[in-house]
Amino acid sequence: MPIKTFKPYTQSRRQMSVSDFSDITKTNPEKALIKIVKKKGGRNNTGQVMVRFRGGGHKRFYRIIDFKRDKFNIPAKVIAIEYDPNRSSRIALLQYQDGEKRYIIQPLGVNVGDSLMSGPDAEIKSGNSLQLTNIPVGTFIHNLELVPGKGGQLVRSAGVAAQLLAKEGDYAHVRMPSGEIRLVRVNCYATIGQVGNLDHENITVGSAGRNRHMGKKSHVRGTAMNSVDHPHGGGRGRSKGNNQPRSPWNQPAKGFKTRPRKVWDWVIVSHRNKAEN
């Protein structure tokens, strides 16, 4: 998927780049597989802002993605590749032999006309979904389950892939895209291959207005605020006032561990940060 750039007729256009969408074969989504998403602007049910710097953005429908891949041993044909505004990867529209249509995340190398299948009888090829116990060691996978039958929760962004390193008893060792090695039950399902749309990481937003179009407000530095609004604010000139980096609520922001040790920490064999081992 090539990246499209522009002539610099404005300063923002000079740096901006977009996908040329040459891989898209269908522009309108399947009506039976969409639903309305109501924007919340980072607010909870009482209207209080819980996540700052969110709001606005273009209206969009949510595409219902089949993360479970639970139509076992029924072949499906890829009939379209579509754009999904809710995720970085492309989505593929499958039509099964019984006529049902479902969306899945498009794996790298899967195109219109390909035949895919999920279940224990599926062959080892990109786009097929199997349990980890049926996948050879060393295979690259994505859309990985954490709880059997719940559907894929890990490795779903554009261009990423995990690798199955080993199987031992009821658990498999999987290297995540971050470098973390963790244990996953061998009866969890995963999809073979790497997620498509590799050039997503090469796209440059280029302007604040385009960020607002995606629902992201400008992020204001603490040192640019008044002292009443942030611990770094105030002062004469650019200064944090001898404060260590802190959040607006005065919690240390660098090096201070806030994550409690959970009962499932034992599934992490090797942390992505090697110093934590």
Assess if residue 128 is contained within a domain. yes
Q: Report the CATH number at residue 137.
A: 2.40.50.140
Residue written as token pair 């219109």: 112
Give how far the C-alpha of residue 116 lies from the chain's centroid of Cα atoms, to the nearest Å. Answer: 22
Contact indicator for 164, 139 with CB cutoff of 8 Å: yes
User: What Rg, from alpha-carbon coordinates, does the chain have?
Assistant: 22
Helix and strand tally (H, E) in the chain? Answer: 2, 17
Distance in angstroms (rounded) separating the CA atoms of residues 152 and 165: 19
The pTM of this model reads 0.90
Residue 238, domain member (yes or no): no
Is residue 246 a part of any domain in this protein? no
Tally of domains within the chain: 1
Cβ–Cβ under 8 Å, residues 173 and 183: yes
CA of residue 225 relative to chain centroid, distance: 32
Q: Which domain holds residue 26?
A: 3-201
- pLDDT tens for the chain, residues 1 to 277: 689 999 999 998 999 999 999 999 999 999 999 999 999 999 999 999 999 999 999 999 999 999 999 999 999 999 999 999 999 999 999 999 999 999 999 999 999 999 999 999 999 999 999 999 999 999 999 999 999 999 999 999 999 999 999 999 999 999 999 999 999 999 999 999 999 999 999 999 999 999 999 999 999 999 999 999 999 999 888 888 888 999 999 999 998 988 788 878 889 999 887 655 5
